[in-house]
Amino acid sequence: MSGCRFTCCFWIYYNLILCFSLSFMIFGFIFLPQEPKFTITNATLTQFNFNSSNNTLDYNLTLNMTIRNPNKRVGIYYRRIQVIGDYRKKRFALVTLNTLPFYQGHKNTTELHQVVVQGSQPVKFGKREVSQFTEETASGIYSIKVQLALRIKARYGKFTSRNYQPYRKIDCKLNVPLSFNETSIASGFKATRCENVYFFTDPDSD
């Protein structure tokens, strides 16, 4: 008698769990947004000088970038965008954009013009960094990694989600030619798509 009751309970319980996880999966499949796409469309580098006697990097980098929301049903609020400048994993700049926050509708692309990353920063370059820097100075093209740190919210109809922060920082690996003035060789820059965009999916989950 009690054994039968136990089995019934077990089956009801089991089916409930199954229903819940199935609907959860279907819900996730329909509503899990696609990641936004980030592209650095153009970059102008008018100054990138490392002075080894006082270990200071003077830099002036101007970026244009686009952010695309590829989703049909999900809007995105951009609450904060920070732009980080790295040279060989050594951070030399962090800029918080002041154009924010803004809302981006379905299938929309937002252009951010003239993001200025400019300043003078003490950096600790080791031998390898200095030798790469010297090589790149000779070639006139610097490999600069721009990272983006964002805080966003997703909007489904009238429902707005919690804050999302990416699992990792978004990486934009740029090769930027140095232009001594604005009319010179800045056109040598190729638009670069940024990698490691993981707001809604966890890259380490599989």
Ligand X SMILES: *[C@@H]1O[C@H](CO)[C@@H](O)[C@H](O)[C@H]1NC(C)=O
| Cβ at position 100, least distance to ligand X in Å | 13
| Cβ at position 204, least distance to ligand X in Å | 33
- Alpha-carbon distance of 180 to 137, in angstroms, equals 12
- Alpha-carbon distance of 41 to 172, in angstroms, equals 11
CB-nearer residue toward ligand X: 17 or 106: 106
Residues of this chain that interact with ligand X (CB under 6 A) are 42-44, 46, 51, 53-54, 56, 58, 60, 62, 64, 105, 108, 113-114, 118, 120, 181-184, 186-187, 189, 191
| Cβ at position 161, least distance to ligand X in Å | 19
Is residue 154 exposed (0-12), middle (13-18) or buried (19+ Cβ within 10 Å)?
A: buried
The values of phi and psi at residue 19, to 5°, are: -60, -45
CA dist 30 → 34, 50, 74, 154, 166 (Å): 10, 50, 11, 14, 21
| Cβ at position 205, least distance to ligand X in Å | 32
Residue nearest to ligand X according to CB distances in the complex? 42
